[in-house]
Structure 1
Amino acid sequence: MDKVVVLNPHAGDHDRDLESWKELLPWDIRVSQEPGDAGRISRELAENGVPQIIVGGGDGTIREVADSLMSLAKEKRPQLAVLPLGTANDFCKSIHIGPELETAIKAIKEGLSVPLDVIQVTLNDKTFYGMNVACVGFVPEMTKRVSGSDKELWGSLVYALKSVETAQESRCYHLAAQLDGESYEWDSWNIVLGNGRFAGGGVPIAPEAELDDGLLDVYVFNGETKLDFLVEGVLSLLGQHSQSVGVESLKGKSLKLNSDLSLPISLDGELLGEGDVEFQLMTGALDVVVGQKTQ
């Protein structure tokens, strides 16, 4: 087997049964039944020498598989490809694979791949890995409010709706930060670290980020009032927040954050927990099939 699909049948709103997936996809399929299955299956396939794993799912499933593969030595990690089956599919947008399955299948068959960077997060003595965007503060607080039924009802619009709701209770965090060893102090309500460009259902949250440049694009939202939050939030939805005087834009390979308040952390749309945190970019850590426009 040179290619195997690890399929999350619960991702997004797809209603195909396994037989219809087998008719559509010209590769062997393994089905994930519950959280953790996709990562476990992918690791087993990698350990058995399968050279390419195709993740059929959303951003959370992709993160789960990437996290599992990063536990292997670099030379033993298989190539990764993706089928956009989730609600937001933000990572697919970042690698220029559109929402149509036919587009993704075509890209996989063409086989253009690039070694992409991976975000490593160390939180409460645990290590996590993801491909796309990490957030501190407001975005994780918003993510807590998004349920599976909300996604089914509203699709990617749910992120905008829950952002408005969360803004009513948002707060600032006093942060002691180290970016590539240089010290900063921030009073921020939201921090975004972009490896990929898109989050929250297509919002260009890190509009200049590149998945293979060896740098995280860091945005520190420093607004102090509810009006500041609103203005900076609207600008971020338009991908223009870097132009706001209240948003500091930086680049780096590593970022440490400490606060007297418990910091909520998310990675690729998944809540990781709360606490002081360290982010590190792992350069060229996973070989990923991409769309033509990344070249």
Structure 2
Amino acid sequence: MLSFTFEHSLLIANPAAHSGKGAEALTTIRQYFDQHTERTPPHIVLTQGPHEAERLVAKAARYDSVIALGGDGIVHEIVAGLMQLPRDHRPALGLIPMGSGNDFARSIGMYINKPINALQQLYASTVKLIDLGEVKTDFGEHACFIETLSFGTDAAIGLDTIKRREEHTSARGAHLFATSGLRLIATGRNGIVCNVSIDHQPPHRYPILIFAVQNGPTYGGGFRICPKAHIDDGKLDTCFNVKYANIPHFLQLFCFARFGGHARSHTVHLQRLEHLEADFLGIKPPCQVDGEPLVGSRFTVDVLPHELSILSPSEPKRYR
């Protein structure tokens, strides 16, 4: 039995997602509704450039739901738009994942790059509240994140994967993240000094190489950097190195992180939290928030518990 309809839904599609496969997926979705005339299709809008999805969503209060067709980038834009609306007027977020990384899709168990399977999951979905993360910087920048925030080498890797996708590399997902990582790890081998305070405790100084704050467990197309993270537990999770790691050890940790094996190392620290402060002592480290660059040298991070409604599949796909 269907528990959801698209009658009052806005579908925002990024046709360029996944090297143009977003456009193919949209054609497939339209053909589905042409063949199932008894089902009301959503109102469909295509994005033409950066931040257009955010602007569209900021005016979407009359809809019950906003469906993102694309990758993590369009999800981030739509979340930014939703957060501009009053909480009691925000549509629920739905997802038809058609990207390279798709980490938020993994967190909620949506089928990836299979638009009809994802559409069927939406039909059987229920509304669920999830957490968000919020980050502010000393440069006046501010963003909410639905999956990941990172600093240092792993942020540089994440930003490099975006650049390579724009250059039409054939690598995708975890393979893309891994190949960027192998190339960039040596450049960050000395780390960046950072004072870290968690939940208002006194700060400690670390030689940061990897530093992630997660809402969900993965980044980089499936790397389980915070394997025990949950998007609806009222907490964020962090993983950062507390000791210097030489290049061979760092490469080993990087490989182990694909399936969460790095969590057993004494070199890294994992912790659940509600509030975090990171001070890089005047240095502007590489920083990414859901794949978008963020500028600052001091960062304040907070969890926003149960802040956003999503369309959650009743039969989520399990990812390792």
2:111 aligned partner: 98
Report 1:131-146 matches (<5 A). Answer: 131-146=146-161
Q: Which runs of 4+ in 1 moved over 3 A?
A: 17-21, 149-152
1:169 aligned partner: 187
How many angstroms apart in 2 are the aligned matches of 1:214 and 1:43? 25
**How much does 1:103 deviate?**
2.4
Asked whether the 8 Å contact 2:110–2:316 carries over to 1, the reply is: no
**How much does 1:208 deviate?**
0.6
2:95 aligned partner: 82
Change (3 A) 1:97 1:216: same
* Greater Cα offset, 9-18 or 283-292: 9-18
How many angstroms apart in 2 are the aligned matches of 1:213 and 1:121? 18
1:51 aligned partner: 64
**How much does 1:275 deviate?**
2.1
**How much does 1:32 deviate?**
0.7
2:126 aligned partner: 112
How many angstroms apart in 1 are the aligned matches of 2:193 and 2:247? 17
Asked whether the 8 Å contact 1:221–1:232 carries over to 2, the reply is: no
Percentage identity across aligned positions?
21
**How much does 1:37 deviate?**
0.6
TM-score scaled by length of structure 2: 0.86
How many angstroms apart in 1 are the aligned matches of 2:187 and 2:79? 33
For structure 2, which runs of at least 5 residues remain unmatched after alignment? 1-6, 34-40
2:231 aligned partner: 211
Asked whether the 8 Å contact 1:143–1:270 carries over to 2, the reply is: no
Asked whether the 8 Å contact 1:96–1:292 carries over to 2, the reply is: no
2:42 aligned partner: 27
How many angstroms apart in 2 are the aligned matches of 1:113 and 1:238? 29
Change (3 A) 1:17 1:247: closer
Report 1:1-295 matches (<5 A). Answer: 1-13=7-19, 14=21, 15-16=23-24, 21-24=29-32, 26-46=41-61, 49-99=62-112, 100-123=114-137, 124-146=139-161, 147=163, 148-150=165-167, 152-156=169-173, 157-170=175-188, 171-185=190-204, 186-224=206-244, 225-260=246-281, 261-292=283-314
How many angstroms apart in 1 are the aligned matches of 2:27 and 2:180? 36
How many angstroms apart in 2 are the aligned matches of 1:117 and 1:151? 33
Asked whether the 8 Å contact 2:17–2:98 carries over to 1, the reply is: yes
**Secondary structure of 1:211's partner?**
coil
**How much does 1:145 deviate?**
2.4
How many angstroms apart in 1 are the aligned matches of 2:302 and 2:105? 22
For structure 1, which runs of at least 5 residues remain unmatched after alignment? none
Change (3 A) 1:150 1:206: farther
How many angstroms apart in 1 are the aligned matches of 2:316 and 2:215? 14
**How much does 1:220 deviate?**
1.2
